[in-house]
């Protein structure tokens, strides 16, 4: 432990217009060690790593590499300093081959000509490090690979760079159990070679298994920093900053659960097979599973965005195989997408306009925009206040609001239409802890008022804490159903379809 760190970040501060993302955060990575960086979504982990990799310039603070202070103005500077980051959102080009992606921007050349053979040889060598089980051809298109293999290509890129520090941002999000084990073995191997690993995660199991040190971020601050691995409870407490007790809302009582709202029978499309389930009024049904298991596809199918091609769906007794979101919305379905910025918000418009969007969309095009059939600007203001959107005023651009307030605005958007079924996808992604509790209670309140709620989430504790019933999906099918009170291990077992050893 007397070693010098390979890199050290001191007092890093980074703010964006309207938001302070990092505030005086310090962090160090030592050779041959795994330093776990834990924190809730939106705590600033990814921002910190983007500062480290030169994507963002910090407003204040210093990065010290091998004793020398450095200023990374371009990602190239960080790469040359031996820092390699495996981003959560993939940084691969789908139209290019595996070898081309591994050597992106640093293709080996001979007399100015790209040496494709050298690229393929090296790509083969690096991929072989992952063991027998992985067959990735260097000349395969990345678009043709499955999610886990794409993840491996990412890692191969970092390994072939011979980086001194490798940052892995939630690397297991898309992996099944076997693939996770392979990844853990790889991390051990890199450790032995003296590489420093920064491992970003919020899964306690992985921290316990891999980490040598732990730093916890919360709301852009260093909440805690340990030179050892403390108990999961300690870490969680540091992450959340309060007791879990009142975090989730009370479950539904038997009287609160009402009539059948949604019924799906043997439905499917090219991504979904043989789906049958029901949701009743007043009930929150959680959908768990690995990334790509079909949960989002199911939500989009119900909403008409990627419709079912077979099977029967009824909503409150009416046939409900919608062919477009507009049809679904008319019939009383609402959806809050996981990718809020991409699929829900119109960022340049005001909070009020964002709230009114759907009410206006379903009204007469030539009608007055301040008083539609479904809501007026006055009633929308009341709704926004009711769901507790905090903004200077509702005519300011929604861009300047926090993730939690943006999400609540979208809840208000759907409330104005009084939907029968509300679908939440990753409802608390990128939302700070206190706002999270607000969203959970809001969901429960909606259910109590008689809405049926479908919740898709990758955050298992969240699913277990909020849902009255959990459905698990795997490979486009329903793979299990659990009443409230199931354990994480049971759910993971159903989600991966494998025996779990030490979960």
Partner 1 sequence: MSSFARYRAAWRLERYAPALLLGIALLIYIAMALGLGQTRFLTPEAAVSILNRSIALGMTAVGQTFAILVGSIDLSVAHLISASAVVSSAIMDGNPAMMLPAAFAALALGAVVGTLNGLLITKLEVNPLIATLGMSLVIQGCLASFYGSFKGSVPDEFQIFAYGNLLGLPISLLVLVMLTLLAWLVLRFTRFGSNVYSVGGNRDTARAAGIKTARIVIASHVICSLYAALAGLYLASRLKSGSPWIGAEGAYDLESIAVVVIGGTILSGGKGGIWGTVAGVIIFSLIDSIFNLAGVDAFAKQVMRGIIIVAAVAFYAVRSKRMAA
Partner 2 sequence: MTQPASMRNIAPARRRLQQINPVYFVLAVLIVAIAVSNPSFVEPTGYMNFLKRAAPLAILAAGQIYVIVSGGFDLSVGSLITLTVVGSSMLLNNNADATWWVILVMYVIGALVGLINGLVVSYLRVPSLIATLGMMITLNGVAFMWSSGSPRGYLPETFRYFGRVNIQGVPLIQFLPVALIALVMVGATFYWLMHRTNFGRMLHAIGDNPRAAKMSGVPVERVRVLAFMVSAFSAVTAGILLGGFAGVSTDVGIGYELQAITATVIGGAQLLGGRGSVPASIAGALTLTAIFTLLNFVGLPKPTRDVVQGVILIAAVVLATYRRNRTGT
Note the residues at the interface with partner 1 (CB under 8 A).
53, 55, 74-76, 79-80, 85, 87, 91-96, 100, 104-107, 109, 112-114, 141, 143-144, 146-147, 270-271, 291-292, 294, 297
343 binds partner 2 (CB under 8 A): yes
- Number of neighbours of residue 152 by Cβ within 10 angstroms: 26
337 binds partner 2 (CB under 8 A): yes
83 binds partner 2 (CB under 8 A): no
402 binds partner 2 (CB under 8 A): yes
In whole angstroms, what is the distance from residue 475 CA to residue 473 CA?
Answer: 7
Q: Based on CB atoms, which residue is closest to partner 1, 104 or 371?
A: 104
Number of residues forming the site for partner 2 (CB under 8 A): 45
Task: Find the helix or strand (DSSP H, E) in which 10 lies.
Answer: strand 7-16
Rg of the chain over all Cα atoms, to the nearest angstrom: 24
Angle at 307 between CA 301 and CA 311, to 5 degrees: 85
Q: Tell me how far the alpha carbon of residue 204 is from its chain's centroid.
A: 17
The mark string for 281-300 relative to partner 2 (x by CB under 8 A, - otherwise) is: --------------------
Residue 53 CB, shortest distance to partner 1, in Å, is 7
344 binds partner 2 (CB under 8 A): yes
57 binds partner 2 (CB under 8 A): no
Q: Based on CB atoms, which residue is closest to partner 1, 16 or 449?
A: 16
In 3-state terms, what secondary structure has residue 493? helix
Binds 106: which of partner 2, partner 1, none (CB < 5-8 Å by kind): partner 1
Position among 242, 310, 330, 449 found at the interface with partner 2 (CB under 8 A): 330
Residue 481 CB, shortest distance to partner 2, in Å, is 28
Query: Is 33 within 8 Å of 187 (Cβ atoms)?
Result: no
Classify residue 498 by burial, with Cβ atoms within 10 Å: 0-12, 13-18, 19+: exposed
Q: What is the DSSP string of 321-336?
A: --SSHHHHHHHTEEEE
Longest dimension (CA), the chain: 77
In 3-state terms, what secondary structure has residue 77? helix
203 binds partner 2 (CB under 8 A): no
In whole angstroms, what is the distance from residue 491 CA to residue 73 CA?
Answer: 45
Position among 123, 264, 305, 447 found at the interface with partner 2 (CB under 8 A): 305
Position among 141, 400, 438, 488 found at the interface with partner 2 (CB under 8 A): 400
Position among 145, 210, 281, 401 found at the interface with partner 2 (CB under 8 A): 401
Describe the crossing of helices 433-448 and 403-415 by its angle, rounded to 10 degrees: 10
209 binds partner 2 (CB under 8 A): no
Placement of tokens 């690397």 in the chain: 171
Classify residue 18 by burial, with Cβ atoms within 10 Å: 0-12, 13-18, 19+: exposed
Q: Based on CB atoms, which residue is closest to partner 2, 1 or 365?
A: 365
> Which residues would be at the binding site for partner 2 (CB under 8 A)?
15-20, 303, 305, 325-326, 329-330, 335, 337, 342-349, 353, 356-358, 360-369, 372, 392, 397, 399-402, 405, 413
């Amino acid at each position: 432990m007397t070693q010098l760190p390979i890199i050290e970040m001191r007092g890093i501060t980074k703010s964006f217009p309207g938001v302070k993302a990092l505030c005086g955060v310090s962090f160090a990575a030592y050779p041959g060690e795994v330093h776990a960086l834990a924190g809730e979504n939106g705590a600033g982990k990814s921002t910190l790593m983007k500062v480290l990799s030169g994507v963002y310039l910090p407003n204040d603070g210093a990065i010290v590499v091998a004793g020398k202070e450095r200023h990374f103005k371009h990602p190239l500077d960080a790469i040359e300093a031996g820092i390699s980051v495996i981003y959560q959102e993939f940084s691969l080009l789908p139209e290019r081959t595996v070898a081309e992606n591994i050597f992106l921007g640093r293709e080996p050349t001979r007399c100015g000509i790209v040496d494709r053979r050298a690229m393929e040889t090296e790509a083969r060598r690096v991929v072989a490090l992952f063991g027998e089980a992985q067959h990735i051809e260097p000349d395969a298109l990345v678009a043709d690979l499955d999610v886990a293999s794409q993840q491996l290509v990412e890692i191969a890129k970092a390994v072939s760079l011979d980086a001194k520090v490798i940052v892995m941002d939630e690397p297991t999000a898309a992996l099944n159990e076997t693939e996770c084990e392979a990844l853990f073995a790889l991390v051990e191997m890199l450790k032995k070679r003296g590489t420093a690993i920064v491992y970003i995660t919020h899964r306690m199991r992985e921290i316990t298994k891999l980490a040598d040190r732990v730093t916890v971020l919360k709301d852009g601050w260093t909440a805690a920093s340990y030179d050892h691995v403390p108990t999961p409870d300690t870490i969680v407490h540091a992450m959340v900053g309060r007791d879990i007790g009142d975090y989730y809302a009370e479950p539904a009582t038997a009287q609160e659960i009402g009539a059948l709202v949604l019924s799906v029978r043997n439905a499917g499309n090219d991504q979904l097979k043989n789906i049958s389930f029901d949701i009743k009024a007043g009930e929150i049904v959680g959908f768990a599973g690995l990334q790509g298991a079909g949960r989002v596809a199911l939500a989009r199918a119900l909403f008409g965005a990627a419709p079912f091609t077979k099977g029967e769906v009824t909503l409150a007794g009416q046939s409900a195989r919608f062919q477009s979101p507009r049809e679904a919305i008319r019939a009383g379905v609402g959806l809050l997408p996981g990718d809020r910025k991409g699929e829900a918000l119109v960022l340049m418009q005001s909070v009020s306009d964002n709230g009114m969007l759907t009410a206006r969309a379903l009204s007469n095009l030539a009608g007055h925009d301040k008083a539609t059939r479904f809501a007026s600007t006055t009633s929308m203001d009341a709704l926004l206040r009711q769901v507790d959107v905090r903004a200077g005023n509702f005519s300011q651009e929604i861009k300047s609001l926090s993730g939690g307030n943006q999400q609540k605005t979208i809840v208000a958007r759907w409330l104005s239409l009084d939907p029968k079924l509300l679908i939440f996808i990753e409802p608390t992604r990128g939302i700070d802890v206190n706002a999270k509790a607000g969203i959970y209670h809001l969901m429960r309140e909606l259910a109590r008022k008689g809405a049926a709620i479908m919740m898709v989430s990758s955050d298992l504790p969240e699913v277990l804490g909020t849902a009255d019933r959990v459905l698990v999906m795997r490979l486009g099918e329903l793979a299990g159903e659990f009443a409230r009170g199931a354990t994480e291990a049971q759910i993971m077992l159903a989600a991966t379809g494998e025996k779990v050893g030490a979960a």
